[in-house]
Amino acid sequence: MRFYTEKECEGWLSGRERKKPDELKDIHVQRINYPPEPHRIFYISLWMAKELTYRMPTLLWITEWGIWPSSENWHLYYKLRQSYGDHRLLQESPGHLFLGHETEDLSSFLQIAMLDGWGGYVLTQANYVNAFFSHDEYIDFFAKEPENLAVVREEFRSDPAGSK
């Protein structure tokens, strides 16, 4: 796992001739809301880390924080980050690049970000489905091909926490 500055995140995208998915025209979107029970965020973050990445590198780019300061667990976030040997602040390096074998790590960081009321992107190297999670408690899944969103619709059609 590596931590990236905002400029390095932009470079990761441009090196793949890509933009943030919500900046693209003619892109298909599927929105799901966060579940009412916060503990179910674990399921969503784990599902995203395993199902969207195809065991390829994935960039978790945090772009929103500080909106709900009373819900942010900075201590937990920085302890987790420090366990990877990085002592920079989130605003100094908001990108988190996970390698293909680091799905559990991606899931943990994504879960903390969602529970803290942050927002950001899950940008997969595979580029079949990417996501934006919002501080307003929803996730937009993006795909160039509408059939790529079928897995999202199927998984979350009855319950955003996956407990059908």
pLDDT of residue 79 exceeding 80: yes
Name the residue range of residue 116's domain. Answer: 2-25+35-97+106-129+151-156
Element (H, E) at 133: strand 130-133
Residue 112 is which amino acid? I
> For position 157, what pLDDT does the model report?
83
pLDDT tens-digit profile of 121-160?
Answer: 999 999 999 999 999 999 999 999 999 999 999 999 855 5
With respect to residue 67, please indicate whether it lies within any of the assigned structural domains. Answer: yes
pLDDT of residue 163 exceeding 90: no
pLDDT tens-digit profile of 21-44?
Answer: 999 999 999 999 999 998 999 999
Stated pTM of the model: 0.94
pLDDT of residue 50 exceeding 50: yes
**pLDDT > 90 fraction of the chain, expressed in percent and rounded:** 92
- The radius of gyration of the chain from alpha carbons, rounded to an integer in Å, stands at 15
With respect to residue 86, please indicate whether it lies within any of the assigned structural domains. Answer: yes
With respect to residue 161, please indicate whether it lies within any of the assigned structural domains. Answer: no
pLDDT of residue 102 exceeding 90: yes
* Residue 49 contacts residue 158 (beta carbons within 8 Å): no
- Model confidence at 162, in pLDDT bands (50, 70, 90)? very low
With respect to residue 145, please indicate whether it lies within any of the assigned structural domains. Answer: no
* Residue 80 contacts residue 104 (beta carbons within 8 Å): no
Q: How many domains does the chain have?
A: 1
How many helices (H) and strands (E) the chain has is answered by: 5, 7
What does residue 101 show for φ and ψ, rounded to 5 degrees? -90, 5
Neighbours of 105 (CB within 10 A): 18
> For position 164, what pLDDT does the model report?
39
> For position 20, what pLDDT does the model report?
97
Average pLDDT of every residue of the chain: 94
